[in-house]
Structure 1
Amino acid sequence: MTDGSANSLLWESPSAVCVTGSTGYIGSWLVRSLLQRGYVVHATARDLWKAAQLQESVWECVGGELKLFRADMDEEGSYDEAMQGCTFVFHVAACMDFHAPSVDNDYVRREVLRAVVRGTLNVMKSCRRAGSVKRVVFTSSISTATARDSLGELKPHVDESSVVDVDSIWLHKPPGWVAAENAALRFAKDNGIEFISVVPTTVAGPFLTPHVPASIRVLLSPITNDPELLPIIQAVYARLGSISLVHVEDVVSAIIFLVAAPQAVAAEGRFLCSGESCNLACLARLLSHKALPLFSDESLPVVISSKKLTDLGFEFKHKASVIVRDAKEGCIQAGFLSNDSS
């Protein structure tokens, strides 16, 4: 299909799409939203039982046509069937290893980076073999971005160019998304597939999954005092100079916007997806009415900018206060937090 009027037909009516990682936090919301918009959704999952549970409890009630497929990023060719006839692929499946050793370079290289890259390329190869896939929207992570300049000083503003040095991930604890995103981008360019990377900041809000998503557990770690997750949010603040939040519904809307909106026909590259940035003191006030001594920094937060996305006409609907409120309410309902925990 060529550029111009023929290409614009992709945006005139919903078509078949594939969602990888459909049982995850963002993936489950994405499937729900696509079904509501009338798309035929091919949802993949490593565990079809989990997908069937979500289908029964969440997805069926919104209507639309849903097909479930078992697929595993570690198995080349396992996505082939799911991608047949799909115009768009939303690659949301990812490997999150919070506890990978930071000094064992051999482990980093062999067990994390190579596995993540290989899995991502397995998905991209299925896109190529399908023959119908025009655009891949890759859900990346804010771990691919940094507010630190070459001298280690904080910049006041982070945009799509503020990328973690790829070479450094071989020396430090790796954000696997960096290697995966770069590998997918190169493959897409070499094979004539349009490629967009959505880079959400800390994603929170309500959740459809039976368990509390990792990003919400990290966000709430200042009030849960989780010894494994609390250092993560502190490290994010040290690298970015702010804690930037985005509502899960805004993330999903942005992902769909980048294939459905007429003004996104020519969209390409990375798109930061950040609802609101705050400093540690602001985050502490949102999380709890109690004093949180470790979260008292009132410094002006670095702005994680979504200007590239909003310049296309996208609008964020949720402020940080709403994001935290929705996340806490969901966790209370799930029994993860008590009513008096904050």
Structure 2
Amino acid sequence: MAPSFYDPSVSTVCVMDASSHLGFNLVKRLLQRGCTVHAAVQDHGEEQFRRLSADSDKLKVFRSDPFDYHSIIDALKGCSGLFYNFEAPRDQPDYDEYMADVEVRAAHNVLEACAQTETIDKVVFTSSATAVVWREDRKSLDLDLDERHWSDVNLCRKFKLWHGMSKTVAEKTAWALAMDRGVNMVSINAGLLMDDPDLSIKTPYLRGAAEMYEDGVLVTVDLDFLVDAHIWVFEDISSYGRYLCFNRVINTHPDALTLARKLTPSAPPMPPSEEGERFIEQRISNKKLNKLMVDIQS
């Protein structure tokens, strides 16, 4: 068993934004593990937490706006760790060319607040695989894409891949600030979350999905696996840097059809394709996360 970073029964951690689908499920899992949790929400979602914990001392809900530095400080007070995932403002849910500025400001405020909170020992920053896959040289690389690679911001801007651009710039901002301020941070670069109730063909992650599919880098992740990954990298004292997180690669025509049906359930069935037997070589690797999982389970 890999050494635990903390004892859940005596730890207090913060989840922000806890009202997101990932955030809410992280709160549930952390409570089950015995943690005291500060659930930081923006302007909605408080009601869903009421029945999560019978012990009122184990769960505290905070109104915390990532653009209000003092509200972040309040939510972090007394916490040893933070799980941070960005939830787009409700009045601007769609990614556009301005979302990068919004996401960068939020990341900067949160990391600066962590640096000013003496009790914070570790930050798990949720990013995206779209901050890895968009590169001019992605088809000519000898090695698979992995955590060492970053998406090209100029390429993203050129082809209006706003999700990839926003996630790349925000994550780079967080890393720069973490290194400058001495904050212990790891990031999870997640694939497309398949259990998200808001998943649809309009999900910002999916812009450029056809190209990702053809390149062998269209990856998805199940909610339980993603939640586990966050907790693994938080608890393991040896975790470091970035971790690509996915448990499925969409690289066959049947896989692509299954995903398409999930995204557009009302669409008429597609006729059989001659591509049925076609297999696209996987060009993306999550070996680093898999190794961490093996070390934890051994």
Structure 1 residue 177 and structure 2 residue 167: aligned?
A: yes
2:59 corresponds in structure 1 to 66
Q: How does 1:264-279 map to 2 (within 5 A)?
A: 264-279=236-251
Q: Which residue of 1 aligns with 2:253?
A: 281
1:300 to 270, 280, 285: 280
Q: Which residue of 2 aligns with 1:115?
A: 102
CA deviation after TM superposition for structure 1 residue 140, in Å: 0.3
What residue number does 2:270 align with?
Answer: 291
TM value normalised by structure 1: 0.71
Q: TM-score, normalised by structure 2?
A: 0.81
One-letter identity of the residue aligned with 1:47: D
Q: 1:334 aligns to what?
A: none
Cα distance in 2 for partners of 1:113, 1:148 equals 18
Does the 8 Å CA contact 1:32/1:62 hold for their aligned counterparts? no
1:5-154 paired onto structure 2 within 5 Å: 10-14=5-9, 15-48=11-44, 50-51=45-46, 53-56=47-50, 59-60=52-53, 65-95=58-88, 98-100=94-96, 108=97, 111-146=98-133, 150=137, 152-153=139-140
Q: Equivalent residue for 2:186? A: 196
User: Residues 182 and 18 (structure 1 numbering): CA distance in 2 closer, same or farther, change over 3 Å?
Assistant: same
Q: Which deviations, in whole Å up to 9, do the C-alpha atoms of 1:45-76 show, x marking residues without a partner?
A: 1124x12x21135x237998110011112222
Partner Cα separation in structure 1 for residue 65 and residue 21 of structure 2: 17
Which amino acid is the alignment partner of residue 226 of structure 2?
V
Distance apart, 1:311 and its partner CA: 1.0
Quote the Cα distance in structure 1 between the aligned partners of 2:203 and 2:81: 40
Number of residue-to-residue matches in the alignment: 279
Determine if contact 1:273/1:306 at 8 Å carries over to the other structure: yes
Task: Give the whole-Å Cα distance in 1 for the aligned partners of 2:243 and 2:210.
Answer: 24
Question: Counterpart of 1:179 in structure 2: which amino acid?
Answer: V
Q: What's the % identity of the aligned pairs?
A: 26
The one-letter amino acid of 1:41's match is V
Q: Judge conservation of contact 2:135–2:152 (CA < 8 Å) in 1.
A: no
- SS of the aligned residue for 1:266 comes to coil
Identify the match of residue 225 of structure 2 among 231, 237, 250: 250
Where does structure 1 lack aligned partners over 5 or more consecutive residues? 1-7, 101-107, 316-342
Greater shift after overlay, 80-89 or 285-294? Answer: 285-294
8 A contact 1:39–1:64 mirrored in 2? no
Per-residue CA deviations over 1:72-103 (Å, capped at 9, x if unaligned) read 12222220111011111101124386452xxx
Q: Assess, with a 3 A threshold, how the Cα gap between structure 1 residues 11 and 99 changes in structure 2: closer, same or farther.
A: closer
* Equivalent position of 1:335 in the other structure: none
Deviation for aligned residue 1:312: 1.8
Structure 2 Cα separation of the partners of residues 185 and 134 of structure 1: 15
Deviations 1:84-132 (A, max 9, x none): 11111101124386452xxxxxxx3xx3322221111111121122211
1:313 aligns with 2:289: no
The question of whether the paired residues in 2 share the 8 Å contact of 1:77 and 1:122 is answered with no
Give the C-alpha shift of residue 165 in structure 1. Answer: 2.0
Letter in 1 for 2:68: E
Aligned counterparts of 1:259 and 1:227: Cα–Cα separation in 2: 28
Q: Secondary structure at the match of 1:313?
A: helix
User: What SS is found at the alignment partner of 1:19?
Assistant: strand
Structure-2 separation of matches of 1:199 and 1:295: 34
Counterpart for residue 213 of structure 2: 237
Change (3 A) 1:294 1:34: farther
Instruction: Give the 3-state SS of the residue equivalent to 2:176 in structure 1.
Output: helix
- CA distance 1:271–1:62, change in 2 (3 Å): farther
CA RMSD across the alignment: 3.3
Quote the residue 1:259 is aligned against.
234
Amino acid at match of 1:311: K
Q: What SS class does the counterpart of residue 67 from structure 2 fall into?
A: coil
Give 3-state SS (helix, strand or coil) of 1:157's partner.
coil
